Amino acid sequence: MRVDPEKDRRLDAPCDPSRCAALDALPQQPPFRFLTTAQRDGKEGDAIRGTWVIDGREPFFAGHFPGDPVLPGVLIAEALAQLAGLLFTDPTIDSASAHRSATATAPASAPASALDCAAAPASAHHAAPALAAKPAPSLLVGIDMRYRAVVRPPVTLSLCSRLDRMIGPIAEFEVAATLGEQRVADGRLSLRMPDGAAP
């Protein structure tokens, strides 16, 4: 059989917030970072899962749609692409500065173990990007998505991106977004990785 049901099930497993990568390693920063937590997964380190906490105050809801907020499907794809890009970012890189940065924006009551991956508070969504140099971004070059349910705030989306194959600098991922037990989107994304990047 050519489809691995175990890999399929893994796409829906929840993110463990106690095992998170430092999101400050991402090239994307607020207000265009659509991840709250992320952690590597998979026996061969080929998958990464995460969450995106959406409280309804994000600026795009003002227009999509006025008085009837619906999460744009393209942003679900973007969140999954950002998550996929993290698979190629060594979470230990610049972990000290990432921790300091997170400490500066996390609520004072946040537990220390959650600082590296905690949701930026709503007030930090528009904070200025960190000045530290970011790794070269991976660029989205292909999208093949299916959207299976309307997503309205407030919600916490569970996300998973699994590396399926690489051809040259192009990495193709199987991706899925879920709300509880419900799959809301899935498909495949292709990213062009920066030179020398490896999962």
Give yes or no for residue 108 binding another protein (CB under 8 A): no
Give the ranges where the chain is alpha helix by DSSP (H).
Answer: 5-10, 73-86, 95-105
Q: How far is the CB of 170 from another protein (least distance, A)?
A: 4
Q: How far is the CB of 165 from another protein (least distance, A)?
A: 2
Asked if 98 touches another protein (CB under 8 A), the answer is no
Residue 51 touching another protein (CB under 8 A): no
Give 168: exposed, middle or buried? Use CB within 10 Å, 0-12, 13-18, 19+.
exposed
170-179 and 155-167 strand pairing: antiparallel
Which one, 102 or 171, has the nearer CB to another protein?
171
CA–CA distance from 180 to each of 94, 97, 122 (Å)? 33, 33, 23
State the pairing for strand pair 170-179/47-54: unpaired
Interface residue with another protein among 73, 164, 179, 194 (CB under 8 A) is 164
- Give the rounded distance of the alpha carbon of 29 from its chain centre: 12
Alpha-carbon gap, residue 149 to 183, rounded angstroms? 8
Q: Using CB under 8 A, which of 2, 67, 96, 196 touches another protein?
A: 2
Closer residue to another protein in complex, CB, 116/186: 186
Q: Could you tell me which of 93, 88, 91 has the C-alpha nearest to residue 192?
A: 88
Nearer Cβ to another protein (134/192): 192
Of residues 176 through 195, those in contact with another protein by CB under 8 A are: 176, 183, 186, 188, 190, 192
Closer Cβ to another protein, 31 or 42, answer by number: 42
Q: Which residues bind to another protein, rule: CB under 8 A? A: 1-3, 5, 8, 11, 141-142, 164-170, 172, 174, 176, 183, 186, 188, 190, 192
